[in-house]
Amino acid sequence: MQKLPEPAPKNLAQRVGALLRSPYTCRQATYDLRRLKRKELIAKVPHTNRYQLTNLGRRVAVLFTKTYGRILAPGLSALDPHLLEELVTPNPFSTSWRCFERALDDFMHAQLVAA
């Protein structure tokens, strides 16, 4: 398997800056990574410059994603009917994710009932 080169902090800061559409420095990236690590949302992969999500980090990410999709976007669209259409309409990925969640919830419920 081919090993991919590790991204330089400068490249990471440029990519995040492009996503945020504002300047984002290496210093800010270091600060953000340190805080996420301290809150145990990410963990450093030993002997590399990489990080990975912890179980808690995954749960928090799912919580924020669900909160946005189920509460924030519909609430904002109710308050302002002139919002961009892409913010209001669910995309195919979110629809698939909800189907997956329902199937997983049904499976877990069936397992708990059987136990």
Predicted local confidence at residue 68, as pLDDT:
83
Give me the pLDDT at residue 1, please: 46
Element (H, E) at 21: none
For residue 39, the model assigns a pLDDT of: 96
Predicted confidence (pLDDT) per residue in 12-59, tens digit: 788 889 988 889 998 998 899 999 999 999 999 999 888 899 999 999
Q: Tell me the pLDDT tens digit for each residue of 65-112.
A: 888 877 887 777 777 766 666 665 666 777 787 788 888 888 878 877
AA identity, residue 53: L
